[in-house]
Amino acid sequence: MDAPTTLAFALMGLLHQAPASGYDLRKFFISSPMKSFSDSPGAIYPALRRLEKREFIRSQVQDRAGLRRRRLFRLTAAGQAELKRWAALGVTRNDVISHMEELTLRFAFMDQVLGRESSASFLRSLVSELTAYVPTLRAYLDAMGEDVPLSGKFALESGILQYETTLQWARKSLAVYERKK
């Protein structure tokens, strides 16, 4: 049985905060900066059903007087455990290269799911991974020959700048966590 998808974890993370219907969840995605995780019913409803089949969430139909009936989902204990397992995963090089969005999502829920100490240590891992990775990108950029077109170099530079921004952000945020302790 392989792990749920990023979208599924996004759903579980939201259900961890409060029970909700598929429609609620979709509305939240659309109206929030989490739109990038899909706003389409063809993704959300099947994902919810899969999660229910695996008993990470449970649902009950609500017949509210005068209102439309809707199916309300809530996270189960098993779902919470799965969410914790996911949130506690380490920060790998591969995550940084190919799954930065998922890392950010994990972090977004971390305070609630695992507590602030975990968030701080997540940031420490991220800082150390980025500190190691960014120079290799810089080296690659510096090694690019004259034949590489300007837009190619600029494109790489934009990626590097984004990583450097993330690194600075992580250090600053970490400092906030450490001050609060």
Partner DNA sequence: AGGTTCATGTAACCCGTTACATGATTTC
Partner DNA sequence: GAAATCATGTAACGGGTTACATGAACCT
Q: Please give the residue ranges that form the binding site for a second copy (CB under 8 A).
A: 32-33, 35-36, 97-98, 104-105, 107-112, 116, 119, 137, 140, 149-152, 154-159, 161-162, 164-166, 169-170, 173, 176-177
Gap between the Cα atoms of 135 and 137, Å rounded: 5
Which window, 68-76, 106-114, 144-152, 160-168, contacts DNA (CB under 7 A)?
Answer: 68-76
Q: Binding DNA by CB under 7 A: which of 28, 34, 58, 71?
A: 71
Indicate which single residue of 8, 12, 123, 130 sits in contact with DNA (rule: CB under 7 A): 8
How far apart are alpha carbons 23 and 44 in whole angstroms?
9
Does an H or E element contain 7, and which? Answer: helix 6-17
Nearer to a second copy, 52 or 164 (CB): 164
DSSP state of 34: G
Q: Which of 26, 106, 120, 129 binds DNA (CB under 7 A)?
A: 26
Is residue 53 close enough to count as binding DNA by CB under 7 A? no
Shorter beta-carbon distance to a second copy: residue 62 or 168: 168
State yes or no: residue 35 binds DNA (CB under 7 A): no
Instruction: Out of 12, 29, 38, 95, name the contact with DNA by CB under 7 A.
Output: 38
- Kindly state the DSSP code that residue 83 receives in the 8-state scheme: H
**Secondary structure (3-state) at 93:** helix
* Partner touching 22 among DNA, a second copy, none, CB below 5 to 8 Å by kind: DNA
> Which strand ranges, in their side-by-side order, compose the sheet holding 57-62?
20-21, 70-75, 57-62
- The residue ranges of DSSP E strands in 55-155, in sequence order, are 57-62, 70-75
Nearer to a second copy, 53 or 179 (CB): 179
* Cβ proximity to a second copy, 62 vs 132, nearer residue: 132
Residue 18 DSSP one-character state = S
Beta-bridged to residue 72, according to DSSP, are: 21, 60
Residue 21: beta bridge partners? 72
Query: Under the criterion CB under 7 A, does residue 67 sit at the interface with DNA?
Result: yes
